[in-house]
């Protein structure tokens, strides 16, 4: 049986990432980006340091400029980024973009991986079209015209879409709107004629985008993977994305818990520290036990992805469902246990709740993944 522990190299990567995020991307950095409505949505100097440390290429093969450290390795990076609410293109480009190209790209398309690894090329995934995650519900159409395609439709909730050099867009090349077959992925230049990218800023201070495609012409070389057969690679990509979102939610939940316990040890009521109240101790113990279970579930999902285990899809969805549930519990408790101050912008604890909610919804919320686990289990 595989042990749920990190190797020495993975632990070293985790420690290096923790040092970088805590020193160069503290929570105060996100607050500043939010307040100034920074046009980039991240600090380039910090991103350059992350790239120099090799974080952008953690999942990318050495032959394409990366370190091929695996999902367990990248998961530690995502977890540490969650602790400081670090804003960067790492998830959109280094996880989703890189893995999409590795899963479905041809040799020519995989050349983009070098740019992802060195931070010079950013990629964003544009697949959702409604308020809730429904990856196989695709109304955006790609009509063949000779050797080319013309795309029409719109996408929403595109993470870091406003800064992407390349968009990976799902479109329907055959079948009905809800058919699993007939979906194709395309590489689209956001500056191409007919492409409109509208930046939207969410309460978590992060940037998402609405992408509109009006008669956008792309060549046959823009097809990522096999025509009409994107559902399989896309689902694998979403398993990967959800596992890494679970890791980020684990990190932010762990930090919110640590901050809450520290506050309980310094806040006095009726002349005594509130940490001495047994009812509050029970609430803290409940959060701690949930976090410990989540740690194991997230690590198990990453190990399954690295091993190409048949259970990887189920484990990834289970981890995302649990992470969403735990993040809601811990951030709600964190704000409540900080009392009235927790409701103000003066304390950072509210920022963890604001980041948790979009991360819970992105690529499927608790209900979506709980239902998917049940389906994969045959219920």
How many other C-beta atoms are found inside a 10 Å radius of the C-beta of residue 208?
22
**Could you tell me if 55 and 153 lie in one domain?**
no
pLDDT of the residue at 341: 83
Same domain, 292 and 236: yes
In terms of domains, do 200 and 99 share one? no
Return the CATH number at 207: 2.40.110.10
Number of domains forming the structure of the chain: 3
**SS3 state of residue 331:** helix
Q: What is the pLDDT of residue 1?
A: 57
First-residue to last-residue Cα distance in the chain = 27
Tell whether 244 is covered by a domain. yes
Inside any domain, residue 287: yes
Inter-residue contact 129 to 138 (CB < 8 Å)? yes
Chain centroid, CA 315 distance in Å: 16
Q: Is residue 239 a contact partner of residue 312, using CB atoms and an 8 Å limit? A: yes
- CATH code where residue 113 lies: 1.10.540.10
Residue 25: inside a domain: yes
> Residue 275 in contact with residue 265, Cβ under 8 Å?
yes
The last residue of one of the domains, among 71, 102, 120, is 120
Is there a single domain that holds both residue 187 and residue 266?
no
Looking at 73, 92, 120, the residue that finishes a domain is 120
Both 244 and 372 in one domain: the answer is yes
- 292 & 372 share domain: yes
Residue 308: burial class (beta carbons within 10 Å; 0-12, 13-18, 19+): exposed
> Is residue 271 located within the same domain as residue 316?
yes
Give the domain-ending residue among 120, 148, 181: 120
pTM summary value: 0.97
Residue 102: strand, helix, or coil: helix
Contact 125, 159 (CB under 8 A): yes
Indicate if 266 and 360 belong to the same structural domain.
yes
Residue 55 burial by CB count (10 A; 0-12/13-18/19+): exposed, middle or buried? buried
Neighbouring residues of 14: CB distance < 8 A, sequence distance ≥ 6: 6, 76, 77, 79, 80
Residue 2: inside a domain, yes or no? no
Spans in the chain with pLDDT lower than 70: 1-2
For every residue of 197-238, which 3-state class applies, written as one string? EEEEECCCCCEEEEEEEEEEEECHHHEECCCCECHHHHHHHH
Residue 260 lies in a domain: yes
Q: What phi and psi values does residue 144 have, to the nearest 5 degrees?
A: -70, 135
Same domain, 268 and 139: no
Regarding whether 276 and 331 lie in a shared domain, the answer is yes
| Residue 3 counted as domain residue | no
Together in a domain, 300 and 314? yes
Per the structure, the complete domain to which residue 351 belongs is given by 232-376
List the CATH number of the domain containing 272. 1.20.140.10
**Does a structural domain hold residue 148?**
yes
Taking the C-alpha atoms of residue 234 and residue 104, their distance in angstroms, rounded to an integer, is 9
Bridge-based pairing of strands 123-126 and 166-172 is parallel
Report if residue 1 sits inside a domain. Answer: no
Query: Per DSSP, what are the bridge partners of residue 212?
Result: 154, 196
95 and 15 in a single domain? The answer is yes
> 349-353 long-range CB contacts below 8 Å, 24 or more apart?
349/256, 349/259, 349/260, 349/263, 351/27, 351/30, 351/31, 351/85, 351/204, 351/205, 352/85, 352/252, 352/253, 352/255, 352/256, 352/259, 353/256
Torsions phi, psi for 218 (to 5 deg): -135, 150
What distance in Å separates the CA atoms of residue 320 and residue 337, rounded to the nearest whole number? 25
């Amino acid at each position: 049986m595989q042990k749920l522990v990190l190797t020495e190299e993975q632990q070293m990567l985790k420690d290096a990432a923790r040092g970088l995020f805590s020193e160069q991307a503290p929570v105060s950095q996100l607050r500043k980006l939010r307040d100034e409505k920074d046009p980039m949505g991240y600090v380039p100097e910090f991103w350059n340091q992350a790239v120099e440390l090799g974080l952008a290429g953690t999942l990318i093969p050495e032959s394409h400029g990366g370190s091929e450290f695996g999902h367990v390795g990248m998961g530690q990076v995502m977890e540490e980024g969650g602790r400081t609410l670090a804003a960067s293109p790492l998830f959109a480009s280094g996880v989703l973009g890189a893995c999409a190209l590795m899963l479905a790209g041809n040799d020519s398309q995989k050349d983009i991986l070098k740019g992802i690894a060195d931070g010079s090329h950013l990629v964003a995934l544009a697949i959702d079209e409604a308020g809730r995650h429904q990856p196989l519900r695709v109304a955006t159409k790609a009509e063949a015209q000779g050797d080319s395609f013309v795309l029409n439709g719109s996408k929403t909730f595109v993470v870091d879409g406003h800064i992407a050099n390349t968009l990976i867009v799902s479109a329907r090349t055959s079948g009905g709107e809800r058919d699993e077959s007939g979906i194709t992925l395309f590489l689209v230049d956001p500056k191409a004629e007919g492409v409109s990218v509208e930046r939207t800023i969410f309460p978590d201070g992060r940037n998402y985008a609405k992408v509109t495609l009006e008669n956008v012409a792309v060549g046959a070389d823009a097809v990522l993977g096999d025509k009409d057969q994107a559902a399989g690679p896309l689902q694998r990509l979403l398993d990967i994305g959800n596992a890494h979102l679970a890791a980020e939610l684990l990190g932010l939940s762990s930090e919110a818990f640590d901050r809450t316990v520290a506050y309980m040890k310094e806040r006095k009521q009726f002349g005594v520290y509130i940490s001495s109240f047994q009812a509050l101790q029970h609430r803290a113990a409940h959060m701690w036990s949930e976090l410990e279970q989540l740690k194991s579930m997230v690590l198990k999902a990453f190990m399954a992805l690295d091993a190409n285990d048949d259970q990887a899809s189920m484990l990834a969805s289970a981890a995302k469902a649990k992470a969403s549930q735990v993040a809601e519990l811990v951030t709600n408790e964190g704000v409540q246990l900080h009392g009235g101050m927790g409701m103000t912008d003066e304390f950072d604890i509210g920022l963890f709740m604001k980041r948790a909610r979009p991360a819970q919804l992105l690529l499927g919320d608790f209900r979506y993944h709980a239902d998917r686990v049940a389906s994969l289990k045959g219920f």
